[in-house]
Amino acid sequence: MSIKVVSTSPFADQKPGTSGLRKKVTVFQTPNYLENFVQSIFDSLEGFAGQTLVVGGDGRYYNRHAIQVILKMAAANGFGKILVGRGGILSTPAASCVIRKYNAFGGIILSASHNPAGKDGDFGIKYNTGNGGPAPEKITDAIYDITKSISEYKILEASDLDLDRIGESKLGDTVVEVIDSVADYAELMESLFDFDRIKLLIASPDFSLRFDGMHAVTGPYAQEILVNRLGAPASALQNCVPLEDFGDGHPDPNLVYAHDLVEVLYGDNAPDFGAASDGDGDRNMILGRKFFVTPSDSLAILAANAHHVPAYKGGLAGIARSMPTSQAPDRVAARLGIESYETPTGWKFFGNLLDAGKATLCGEESFGTGSNHVREKDGLWAVLFWLNVLAARQQSVEAIVKEHWQLYGRNFYSRHDYEGVDSDRANTLVNNLRNKFAELKGHKFGNYEVAFADDFSYTDPVDGSVSNNQGIRIGFTDDSRIVFRLSGTGTQGATLRLYVESYEPNIAKHSLDTQEALKELIEIADQVAQIKVLTGRDQPTVIT
């Protein structure tokens, strides 16, 4: 085996977004495209000679080929050992778990998360640091700078390895160990939750559940944890065979794309509890019988009930949420007498808070929830947390949520996604809003008066780093909010996200339909931003 140095030229479009580099598979198949980005990762790092690297992905098309390339390049660049998930598979939270458990230098995760897969689908790659979390901006910026001037990459000339057989092999001087993709993660979950109590709940004739893996990475994890360890019947799982094209579906666990699960939970003889996870296993959707739990409410309710879970019964250090997430978790933090933190979107912003012991639970409105057990959001963790709470409280999902609203008030909340919008039109919309900040303050729209309008800026309380232009906020005097963001997770055009929130303390109004309760604010948002005019859309693509 010899190290080959290959001459290459830069690509202009390799700037990582909030979750790494995501492009169409066909783009990654361009000669040297993947290799350039991988070499740029390695060139941005220092001190990894002889260290351990973790590699895995969500099993989507091109995953296996990319892993073989990464293994040979990591060996050529001097890593001492590489841990790779069997079959090339590791869910994103499991990869974080493995990085932390084995004190790895870092990890490369191959995923485009909730984006569609297949030969014509999306692919993604991101680097996670030694704490198990996504690389901070200073590292992703360094990677991008290198991609703009890269002239060569190093790769070992060697045959492909068998990724389906657990055990060790060699690539030059580098040890490659194929590990059980599920075992370490399952053991971690068992250490956090009261599995005995959850087993009793699942065994009860009065309780039933359904988990939808959306033909993505969590299928094997759900089989091992929910069925093998907790005793759920095999029929409790659906779409749990991972496929390279995710069954030609869109593995985004929301009310639109997880329609198979929604039909079951809103149908006749519905189960008591339903949940789904996404492409790489870091997101979750929670349902009760004919009842949907918003991700914002889910974070708040888990925080309020954390004392029921062994790992958190000693109390929480703090709660962190992304800026667009509703303010419901803040109300729980205030009652518990702990800090609440508002960060930009992107799990990497939670990493410093978790490492510094300032926060214990974190969440995003985009169906992501997690804690200090890893440094990624974690779909199955959230499912197990809910099952632990249900087992402890012996109430339905709906009853627990409604009791929470009675105690804290209800934050009516909805997200409207306009997907595949022309990028120029989307940027025009955002720029127009920025130019209106001064005139909006104090302006009255029907029952609402604007208290402030700004572009969210975040100063990290741990390292002092500043992140600007993180989303446009229009806040009203009654604590209602409208937020606009352009998403960085898509691969075509732009996705405009509109977030609308209104706080309602009156219990008599808690049963209102969410869209009806937010109707006036939604109309104000369109009036201010000219959404229909500039996007050319009469309706959002997805409403959650």
Q: Which two tokens stand for residue 70?
A: 């990464």
Instruction: Tell me which residues are annotated as active site.
Output: 113
- In this model, does residue 247 exceed pLDDT 60? yes
452-502 pLDDT, tens digit per residue, is 999 999 999 999 999 999 999 999 999 999 999 997 555 567 899 999 999
Question: What would the mean pLDDT of 145-164 be, rounded to a whole number?
Answer: 97
- In this model, does residue 347 exceed pLDDT 90? no
Question: What would the mean pLDDT of 155-174 be, rounded to a whole number?
Answer: 96
d(C-alpha 57, C-alpha 169), whole Å: 20
Average pLDDT, the chain: 95
d(C-alpha 295, C-alpha 532), whole Å: 26
| Residue 488: predicted pLDDT | 55
| Residue 489: predicted pLDDT | 52
- In this model, does residue 18 exceed pLDDT 80? no
| Residue 492: predicted pLDDT | 65
50-79 pLDDT, tens digit per residue, is 999 999 999 999 999 999 999 999 999 999
DSSP assignment of 65-129: HHHHHHHHHHHHTT-SEEEEEEEEE--HHHHHHHHHHTT-SEEEEE--TTS--STTSEEEEEEE-
pTM of the full structure = 0.94
Helix (H) or strand (E) run with residue 434 in it: helix 423-434
φ and ψ of 286, to 5 deg: -115, 130
User: Exposure string (b/e) for 191-207, b if CB count within 10 Å is 16 or more?
Assistant: ebbbbebbbebbeeeeb
Beta bridge partners of 476: 450
Helix (H) or strand (E) run with residue 284 in it: strand 284-288
512-536 pLDDT, tens digit per residue, is 999 999 999 999 999 999 999 999 9
| Residue 136: predicted pLDDT | 87
381-437 pLDDT, tens digit per residue, is 999 999 999 999 999 999 999 999 999 999 999 999 999 899 999 999 999 999 999
- In this model, does residue 321 exceed pLDDT 60? yes
Share of the chain above pLDDT 90, in %: 92
